[in-house]
């Protein structure tokens, strides 16, 4: 028995974001700026930017919109975050 897979599907299943990265990305989905996210999480803007850089690297993207789209497609963002951003 053989399995036919979608190219890249295995890689997509192994992408793991930390709870904090998911939290940052969820706030990005709401349209918040890095400064707003920093204030909400009681961290520096630099820390938020560090988390975003890690998210971009893990998702192989280069900006917030691409990160949102890819994370949504992969099911990495909780649905309540998507609804809250509406």
Range of the domain at 65: 17-84
47 lies in some domain? yes
Residue 4 gets the label, from left (phi > 0), alpha (psi -120 to 50) or beta, of: beta
The number of distinct structural domains making up the chain is 1
- The predicted model scores a pTM of 0.77
For residue 70, give the CATH number of its domain. 1.10.10.10
Q: What is the DSSP letter of 75?
A: T
69 lies in some domain? yes
pLDDT of residue 80: 64
Q: What token pair was written down for 81?
A: 């975050």
Q: What are 18-44's pLDDT values in tens digits?
A: 999 999 999 998 999 999 999 999 999
Can you tell me the distance from the alpha carbon of 7 to that of 33, in angstroms, rounded to the nearest whole number? 34
pLDDT of residue 6: 42
Q: What are 62-78's pLDDT values in tens digits?
A: 999 999 999 989 888 86
Residue 13, helix vs strand vs coil = helix
């Amino acid at each position: 028995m053989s399995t036919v897979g979608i190219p890249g599907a295995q890689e997509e299943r192994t992408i793991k974001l930390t709870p904090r990265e998911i939290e940052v990305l969820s706030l990005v989905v709401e349209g918040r700026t890095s400064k707003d996210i920093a204030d909400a999480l009681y961290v520096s803007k630099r820390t938020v930017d560090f988390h975003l850089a890690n998210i971009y690297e893990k998702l192989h993207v280069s900006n917030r919109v691409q990160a949102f789209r890819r994370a949504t497609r992969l099911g990495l963002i909780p649905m309540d975050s998507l609804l809250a951003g509406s």
